[in-house]
A and B are shown apart, each in its own frame.
Chain A
Amino acid sequence: MANKLIDIVNISKSFGDNLVLDNLNLYIRQNEFLTLLGPSGCGKTTLLRILGGFESADHGEIIFEGKNINSLAPNKRKLNTVFQKYALFTHMTIAENIAFGLKIKGKTSSYISDKIKYALKLVNLDGFENRMPDSLSGGQQQRVAIARAIVNEPKVLLLDEPLGALDLKLRQDMQYELIRLKNELGITFVYVTHDQEEALTMSDTIVVMNQGYIQQIGTPEDIYNEPQNAFVADFIGESNILSALMVEDKLVKILGVDFPCVDIGFGKNRPVDAVIRPEDVELVTPDKGILQGIVSHLIFKGVHYEMEVEANNFTWLVHSTDMFPVGTNVGIYVDPYNIQIMKKPKTEDAEAVGVEE
């Protein structure tokens, strides 16, 4: 692909006996907002640190704009990092923090002060030049950290769980802010998070990782609607994951009941996993359902009701704007388009990878 900016080839890394990245391949395109998503310990931060130059890979290559940068020192790389804990220089003012990289590059002082103004405006912190980092809130500090990184006009901005320490409201605000920044600046973002909602909101591409392996790469819609294995399905959003039997093309047997679906090519009478998102489970009168069950649990969640329905020895998670009181007999119906069929992991190793979380 012509616009590959970074190519990560066969990267492996272990700390002691602990294999963190196993022969990982990934490319990052120009101007892309790519998110590395996974539970803690999945190797996403290590991958980011290898990109930043703070760790070196045991095997493999990092190709940046066509050149191998494996042995390039962090201060020589054309990318900047926004750290998890902001890592502001506490003994410098905000202006001094932002000017840090520019001064090293030997920019003129008028250029630097223009840049400081521009960057602070960009992150909505006009007039904060002479404040000290400790006097700022977490969100403000984070925006300073971003400003400090972007004034250097990096090709790529690496962000390591930058919103992790913020409260929910602030986090949502910052998400929009980051998207806006990315669009205004036109630089590539590589974003690390364990928060699937954050990933879905902001990314062009999501890379789901677990235990050093990439589980799935795709757009947020792909990842959400077409999880390729149980791990991804479970990790992204909430889902009902059921062991099922693919009877034939477009027909799957779930909990002993035949469900029409749209998937083909799995063969006949093959064990598979079926994923059904809770909002795709439609509750109808018992006679109209494919399956019959009893509502056992009910919580009001604001946008919708969350219910649990006991049917054929399985507890179905259901999101619905309609409310059915506990004890109601209901029918369960799923649109064939909303059943996602996945292959069962073949080997035990792959299973371990998939089912761990």
Chain B
Amino acid sequence: MKKFIQRFYLILILILLYSPIVTLIVLSFNNSKTRAKWGGFTVKWYASLFQNQDIMNALYTTLIIAFASAFLATIIGTAAAIGIQAMRKSVRTPIMAVTNIPMLNADIVTGISLMLLFVAIRFSLGFTTILFAHITFNIPYVILSVMPKLKQTNKATYEAALDLGASPIYAFFKVVFPDIFPGISSGFLLAFTMSLDDFIITHFTKGPGVDTLSTKIYGEVRKGIKPEMYALSTLLFVSVLLLLFVVNLSPSDKENKKVVKHRKQKQFIFRRLVPALLLLVLIGGGIFYGRSSNLTGKEQVIVYNWGEYMDPEVLDLFEEETGIQVVYEEFETNEIMYPKIQSGAIAYDVVCPSDYMIQRMIENNLLAELNYDNIPNAKNIGETYFIQSKQFDPENNFSIPYCWGTVGILYNKTMVEEPIDSWSVLWDEQYKDNILMQDSVRDAFGVTLKYLGYSLNSTDLDELEAAKKLLIEQKPLVQAYVIDQVRDKMIGNEAALGVIYSGEAIYTQWENENLEYVIPKEGSNVWIDSWVIPKNSKNKENAEAFINFLCRADIAKMNFDYITYSTPNDAARDLIEDEALKNSPIAFPPKEDLERCETFSFLGDENDALYNRLWREVKSN
């Protein structure tokens, strides 16, 4: 009975530890794309994994960084350990404590502080910074594993070597090194796995276009987990497992001391063969993937854009036509993008912020003036949009509109009494629990301020208090405060009304023909996302070429088809074949509607805080 309980407990623990990994491995062989269903055994995810250039690039980068950082950290760490060992004990103990602290330090602190350091010394983030960061956090692990071996080493053997005529360096490599080699090699392998494993520090110190497997997986997962990721994670797990086996089998050759020949063979395998094979794989991978990798130093342009905000084919076309290589990075919100540009850690060449953020960037002197001579296709952009842009870029010196849209009400024709033409419906008792509001402070207040007849950039406390009061009154009527789900809920007939962006509205109409969009008569928000070039861009001409390319009618049309947000490109609009879409009042509202609309302005940090405080009061009331 006791034995049974012991076994049961052991099995329970093993299940707890390994069931997640087993699940992952099983799913990586699942033929069905959904997690819920077993669609038969397949290795196709593995096949498609190896055909995915991006992932293989990331794998190669990961291996190079792991290998190089482990190698350099091993040299530096071993030298440090020898130095520390030679110190007096009263000095050695505190020094050891100091070298141990970075290991206990939270990764996120290490990551952020490394990033800050790189930024402070004007070192632009990229492959090198990841490498430096990894070397930095690997050194303590090497010291930790070399130190005990050094302590065990009989100091007399080193002295004996000197005594026999060896120079100190010769004595070290001939006598001390073989003694501490197990410590050095386990330090190397530890550093190697630590580097492979790291996500957080890499995330903070990496530059655009450089990805290790972990940051690549993170980036992919944000967009939805693909089965290839299961396959990749499985391979990673298996590799680490193999590495562990190698560590445990490597020269612990106590039993084989007497059999010299066998020992020599083993030595040969671990000292020569394994490193040679590793090197071969690295060099081979380098040649194979290096051609497309951005490490090769040809002409490039670093693009920083919203997620899902460009047809990937456009990038391929641009590379083909110009020979300029695109390094493409994505952000989720203006607020995430801004500090990255401000810190100057990464020299982006072309960025796509929204109106109010462009204003803020201009005010903070972060943008470079555009040279319109290099952007002849700017003529395709409608005059109206340049005029609208003057609200945030008074001279049109810094930005060229890319996408725009309005905020309005999406309603289900079968569920409301038409006509809907005013924000007042959002306060109409008969639509109780049928109203969807945007869960974002500026949108919610903007709508309310407009309803009250004020500017949506109001900073007048009385106006804002009035808006707050109205929003609190509205709360019982609202079904949900959401962002992306407005689209899906409206398509699914789950609500009658919702505040939505016009770009989304077009898509919902394709899915549900009962939906209609209106810009209320009180006016609304018009937003514009435009291309700008940061001041610290290193490839300004390439950036202008890129913007020019995006302004080409056929390219703008491709992007419009892909993202369905209104294009300011009149020439592109002319290319739209579907007359209904071309003249859609949603995508291209009449001029008089637009004249009632305002763009958001950057109100300053203090007012931002005020808005946020009022919004909290609304939400918590």
**In whole angstroms, how far apart are the Cα atoms of A149 and B164 in the complex?**
7
A100 to B159, Cβ gap below 8 A? no
A104 to B164, Cβ gap below 8 A? yes
List the B side residues contacting A90 at CB < 8 Å: 157, 179
A131 to B154, Cβ gap below 8 A? no
A83 to B159, Cβ gap below 8 A? yes
B203 to nearest A CB, angstroms? 42
**In whole angstroms, how far apart are the Cα atoms of A130 and B161 in the complex?**
20
* Chain B 416-473 residues near chain A, CB threshold 8 A: none
Total residues of chain B contacting the partner, CB 8 A? 22
B164 to A52, Cβ gap below 8 A? no
Chain A residues in the interface with B (C-beta under 8 A): 52-54, 73-76, 80-81, 83-85, 87-91, 93, 100-101, 104-105, 130-132, 134-135, 145, 148-149, 152
**In whole angstroms, how far apart are the Cα atoms of A71 and B167 in the complex?**
15
**In whole angstroms, how far apart are the Cα atoms of A194 and B258 in the complex?**
35
A87 to B166, Cβ gap below 8 A? no
Please pick, from A83, A101, A104, the residue contacting B156 in the complex, using a CB distance under 8 A: A83
B253 to nearest A CB, angstroms? 10
B55 to nearest A CB, angstroms? 42
B163 to A52, Cβ gap below 8 A? yes
List the A side residues contacting B163 at CB < 8 Å: 52, 74-75, 80-81, 149
**In whole angstroms, how far apart are the Cα atoms of A270 and B164 in the complex?**
54
Are A84 and B257 also in contact (CB < 8 A) when A91-B179, A100-B166 are? no
B124 to nearest A CB, angstroms? 46
Residue of A nearest to B177 (CB): A91
6 interchain pairs (CB within 8 A)? A75-B168, A87-B157, A91-B178, A100-B174, A101-B165, A149-B163
Please, what's the 1-or-0 string for B158-202, where 1 marks a CB less than 8 Å from any CB in chain A? 011111111110110011001100000000000000000000000
**In whole angstroms, how far apart are the Cα atoms of A93 and B164 in the complex?**
16
List the A side residues contacting B257 at CB < 8 Å: 132, 134-135
Residue of B nearest to A16 (CB): B88
- Is B16 an interface residue when CB atoms closer than 8 A count as contact? no
- Is B580 an interface residue when CB atoms closer than 8 A count as contact? no
List the B side residues contacting A85 at CB < 8 Å: 154, 156
**In whole angstroms, how far apart are the Cα atoms of A75 and B174 in the complex?**
14
State the main secondary structure of chain A at its contact with B.
loop
A73 to B162, Cβ gap below 8 A? yes
- Is B260 an interface residue when CB atoms closer than 8 A count as contact? yes
Residue of A nearest to B157 (CB): A87
List the B side residues contacting A104 at CB < 8 Å: 164-166, 170
Are A74 and B156 also in contact (CB < 8 A) when A91-B178, A132-B257 are? no
Interface contacts beyond A100-B164, A135-B257: sample of 10 additional A-B pairs, CB < 8 Å, sorted by A:
A54-B159, A74-B159, A75-B168, A84-B156, A89-B178, A90-B179, A91-B178, A100-B166, A100-B174, A152-B165
List the B side residues contacting A52 at CB < 8 Å: 159, 163
A328 to nearest B CB, angstroms? 54
B258 to A132, Cβ gap below 8 A? yes
A89 to B157, Cβ gap below 8 A? yes
Closest A-B pairs by Cβ, 3 of them = A101-B164, A87-B156, A87-B160
Please pick, from A91, A131, A134, A152, the residue contacting B164 in the complex, using a CB distance under 8 A: A152
B263 to nearest A CB, angstroms? 8
A285 to nearest B CB, angstroms? 58
Are A81 and B165 also in contact (CB < 8 A) when A90-B179, A132-B258, A135-B257 are? no
B165 to A105, Cβ gap below 8 A? yes
A187 to nearest B CB, angstroms? 15
Chain B residues in the interface with A (C-beta under 8 A): 154, 156-157, 159-168, 170-171, 174-175, 178-179, 257-258, 260
**In whole angstroms, how far apart are the Cα atoms of A247 and B466 in the complex?**
124
**In whole angstroms, how far apart are the Cα atoms of A148 and B157 in the complex?**
12
A229 to nearest B CB, angstroms? 34
Please pick, from B159, B165, B258, the residue contacting A131 in the complex, using a CB distance under 8 A: B258
**In whole angstroms, how far apart are the Cα atoms of A131 and B257 in the complex?**
9
A75 to B167, Cβ gap below 8 A? yes
List the B side residues contacting A73 at CB < 8 Å: 162
**In whole angstroms, how far apart are the Cα atoms of A131 and B261 in the complex?**
11
List the B side residues contacting A130 at CB < 8 Å: 260
**In whole angstroms, how far apart are the Cα atoms of A149 and B160 in the complex?**
9
Q: Which of B159, B164, B166, B167 has the most CB of A within 10 A?
A: B164
Please pick, from B154, B162, B170, B179, the residue contacting A74 in the complex, using a CB distance under 8 A: B162
Residue of A nearest to B256 (CB): A132
**In whole angstroms, how far apart are the Cα atoms of A76 and B165 in the complex?**
6
B134 to nearest A CB, angstroms? 31
A89 to B175, Cβ gap below 8 A? yes
Please pick, from B162, B175, B179, B258, the residue contacting A75 in the complex, using a CB distance under 8 A: B162
A129 to nearest B CB, angstroms? 10
List the A side residues contacting B164 at CB < 8 Å: 75, 80, 100-101, 104, 148-149, 152
List the B side residues contacting A83 at CB < 8 Å: 156, 159-160
B572 to nearest A CB, angstroms? 73
List the B side residues contacting A145 at CB < 8 Å: 160
List the B side residues contacting A54 at CB < 8 Å: 159, 162
**In whole angstroms, how far apart are the Cα atoms of A87 and B157 in the complex?**
5
List the B side residues contacting A91 at CB < 8 Å: 178-179
**In whole angstroms, how far apart are the Cα atoms of A152 and B161 in the complex?**
12
List the B side residues contacting A75 at CB < 8 Å: 162-168, 171
**In whole angstroms, how far apart are the Cα atoms of A90 and B154 in the complex?**
11
A97 to nearest B CB, angstroms? 9
List the A side residues contacting B260 at CB < 8 Å: 93, 130, 132
A6 to nearest B CB, angstroms? 16
List the A side residues contacting B171 at CB < 8 Å: 75
A207 to nearest B CB, angstroms? 22
List the B side residues contacting A132 at CB < 8 Å: 257-258, 260
**In whole angstroms, how far apart are the Cα atoms of A149 and B161 in the complex?**
10
**In whole angstroms, how far apart are the Cα atoms of A356 and B150 in the complex?**
37
List the B side residues contacting A149 at CB < 8 Å: 163-164
List the B side residues contacting A76 at CB < 8 Å: 165
Q: Which of A53, A88, A104, A105 has the most CB of B within 10 A?
A: A104
**In whole angstroms, how far apart are the Cα atoms of A81 and B175 in the complex?**
16
List the B side residues contacting A134 at CB < 8 Å: 257
List the A side residues contacting B179 at CB < 8 Å: 90-91
List the B side residues contacting A100 at CB < 8 Å: 161, 164, 166, 174
List the A side residues contacting B160 at CB < 8 Å: 81, 83, 87-89, 145, 148
**In whole angstroms, how far apart are the Cα atoms of A149 and B162 in the complex?**
12
B219 to nearest A CB, angstroms? 47
List the B side residues contacting A81 at CB < 8 Å: 159-160, 163
**In whole angstroms, how far apart are the Cα atoms of A112 and B43 in the complex?**
61
**In whole angstroms, how far apart are the Cα atoms of A235 and B170 in the complex?**
43
A157 to nearest B CB, angstroms? 11
